[in-house]
Structure 1
Amino acid sequence: MDHSADTAQAQSLLGELWRHVEDVSTRLEKAERRKRRASACDRREVSKLRADLYETHHLIDAIHRRFPETCPHREAETAPGGP
């Protein structure tokens, strides 16, 4: 099994997931700003965006558990002079 290829693929997927987090977060912020005058449809959109954001973070966490070397915190811990 080629771990370096798997890790590279995991890193690529993480990049896409983080871009998705940014996109959903931006859309969620806009939807929440409209919340004062929100209709039931707007509230459902906010709820759906939150669920999407939580699921994306869950996927990111799962990749970090499967490929610990992709976790940015781990790099800081193992770097020379790290904690």
Structure 2
Amino acid sequence: MDDEYGPVVASYTRAEAFESGVFVAVSPAAASAAGLGMPVAITAGVRQEFVAGNDGDDDGRLQKVLSTVARAIQQAPGDEVCS
């Protein structure tokens, strides 16, 4: 896969990130409830820092994170959002 930047030295695919636990899939229902109509994943770091807890309310915290992301997307100027 040589291109104008030279040969690929290393690669790490999205599938490998899920397999290794770096990416954590968000259920379609949770994403949809937050107003996100596309597949969503978060990093393990985001899950650890903002979602995981000892009180059993991981779903509630995940919804807050996803709702915040959805709101930021809605408020971003149209030319700054990639589809």
Q: TM-score range by the shorter chain?
A: 0.3 to 0.5
Larger strand proportion, structure 1 or 2?
A: 2
Larger helix proportion, structure 1 or 2?
A: 1
TM-score by length of 1: 0.33
Quick one: higher RCO (CA 8 Å, sep 6+), 1 or 2?
Answer: 1
Answer with 1 or 2: which has the greater Rg: 1
